[in-house]
Amino acid sequence: MWLGLDDTDSLDGGCTTLVFHELLNSLPCEYGEPRLTRLWPFAAQRTRGNAALSVELFCDESIVEWLDQYWNENISILKGEISESQHSERKQYPSDPGMTLFSEQPDEKYYWQAVRSQAGFVEGGYQWGGQGRIGAAASCAWRETSITWEGIAWRKDERHVSDEVLTNVENMDGTFLCRDPRTNRGLIAPRGPCPVMFGVRATSFDVASTATNELLSGSAPTIGNRVFKTNQASGDHIESTKTSIVESKDVIEGGHVIINQSIICFSESGPLNKLSQWLETGDLIEFMGLEYEGKLHLEAMRIIESKSKIRPTCECGSTMKSMGKGQGVRCPKCRIKSELSWIEIERKPMIEGWVQPPADKRRHLAKRLASDPKS
């Protein structure tokens, strides 16, 4: 059996991972490795972290009666929580918890739809609640094609993690995105009112578990912790890269860059924004991002080819000048003419290879493309 859960929180608090953790602790049967699945970042009624939870249960349909009672007593009461964002004009929807149970995993196509676009409800199985059923079912449908792990702990009261301990964890082989190298600010602890103490990301279960225990030794009191298998840093939300020749580039108010009137690179994306501003007409680029409301939101880019034209140089060292439209060029000193009006030279970008936003500005799903394994 496959159990899924989603949409129990709002911007003012709550946490679906904690609700799921408590559900797992109460289950009357054995279960597999809990899974945290990030979904399409632009879903209209997405939750705060846009993550759904799922797990394989080792039982039969007799669990349905128990789940029905647990739902009514512990989860359905979380419906209707809402708050307004101080950072976004996006409409906020009330929490609308959903739980699903399937005898077999839903079709994998449903996961790919939900991680790359707006998805609807899936039929079949046992389902409780409302909008959250979409994410719950999508998480159940995930086939773990690319995996990372996250160790999450939930706070009892205050949120505090020792910076010294964080440094130890940051230096472990296999952890990533623990600290922003630009600002030196830790990235494992949220800043909002949710109950999460920290979430540490790793490339294996053992590293995530070890890092979690290390952080617990230097944190304020917690009420529990658990390691989740995740699709974070998988890049699953993007189907493929694209290539294009730069035909136009506009830098608009706020420093955002519009490439070819359809690709937007936000000012907050740091080196990616600087590279976007560096582009010139005729450059060949490869890029990836998500399309939303007529624009592709740029997440990574590399320069395939960039050339500029310069006037040829005379043997005397002077730069040749145009003699007029269609008349070629000549040296202003020696008066020697050249058959070449322009010479193409290769432009070297300030950063070669794939360029991404800073660590704290990337999506949870963004694949790590930089050479630094900690980024």
Find the mean pLDDT for residues 349-354.
89
Output phi, psi for 55, to 5 deg. Answer: -160, 150
Say how far apart CA 184 and CA 214 lie, in whole Å: 20
**What does the block give as tokens for 111?**
């996961």
Percent composition of the chain: helix, strand, coil (DSSP 3-state, to 5)? 20, 30, 50
Does 85 score more than 50 pLDDT?
no
Does 96 score more than 80 pLDDT?
yes
Calculate the dihedral angle through the C-alpha atoms of 220, 221, 227, 233, rounding to the nearest 10 degrees.
Answer: -30
Q: For 220-273, write each residue's pLDDT tens digit.
A: 999 999 999 999 999 999 999 999 999 999 999 889 999 999 999 999 999 999
Say how far apart CA 109 and CA 119 lie, in whole Å: 11
The ranges of the chain annotated as CATH 3.30.70 are 2-141, 148-230
> Residue 281: which of 252, 312, 315, 249 has the closest Cα?
249
Report DSSP state, residue 37: E
Mean pLDDT rounded to a whole number for the chain: 90
73-87, 150-164, 182-196: the lowest-pLDDT one = 73-87
Is 242-306+348-361 a CATH 3.10.270.10 domain?
Answer: no
Does 80 score more than 70 pLDDT?
yes
**Prediction pTM value:** 0.86
How are beta strands 284-292 and 98-102 bridged, if at all?
unpaired
* Topology annotation, domain 148-230: Alpha-Beta Plaits (3.30.70)
Amino acid code (one letter) for 215: L
Close Cβ partners of 329 (under 8 Å, ≥ 6 residues apart)? 311, 312, 320, 321, 322, 323, 337, 338, 340, 341
Say how far apart CA 92 and CA 89 lie, in whole Å: 9
Residue with tokens 């991002």: 289
Say how far apart CA 111 and CA 37 lie, in whole Å: 9
Binning pLDDT at 50, 70 and 90, where does residue 326 land?
confident
Binning pLDDT at 50, 70 and 90, where does residue 92 land?
low
**What does the block give as tokens for 26?**
């109460």
Does 37 score more than 80 pLDDT?
yes
Find the mean pLDDT for residues 193-212.
95
> Residue 176: which of 35, 41, 363, 372 has the closest Cα?
372
Cβ(251)–Cβ(257) below 8 Å = yes
Q: For 298-315, write each residue's pLDDT tens digit.
A: 999 999 999 888 888 887
Binning pLDDT at 50, 70 and 90, where does residue 79 land?
confident
- E strands, 69-163, where? 98-102, 126-129, 148-155
Find the mean pLDDT for residues 114-126.
93
Report DSSP state, residue 293: T
**What does the block give as tokens for 246?**
């730069």
> Residue 48: which of 95, 115, 103, 117 has the closest Cα?
95
Does 217 score more than 70 pLDDT?
yes
17-31, 172-186, 189-203, 332-346: the lowest-pLDDT one = 332-346
Is 2-141 a CATH 3.30.2310 domain?
Answer: no
Report DSSP state, residue 355: B
Which ranges of 27-162 does DSSP label H, i.e. alpha helix? 63-70, 108-116, 132-141
pLDDT reported for residue 308: 85
Strand order in the sheet with 321-322: 321-322, 329-330, 337-338
Close Cβ partners of 154 (under 8 Å, ≥ 6 residues apart)? 15, 17, 18, 21, 195, 196, 197, 222, 223, 224, 225
Cβ(209)–Cβ(225) below 8 Å = no
Cβ(135)–Cβ(95) below 8 Å = no
The ranges of the chain annotated as CATH 2.40.50.1010 are 242-306+348-361
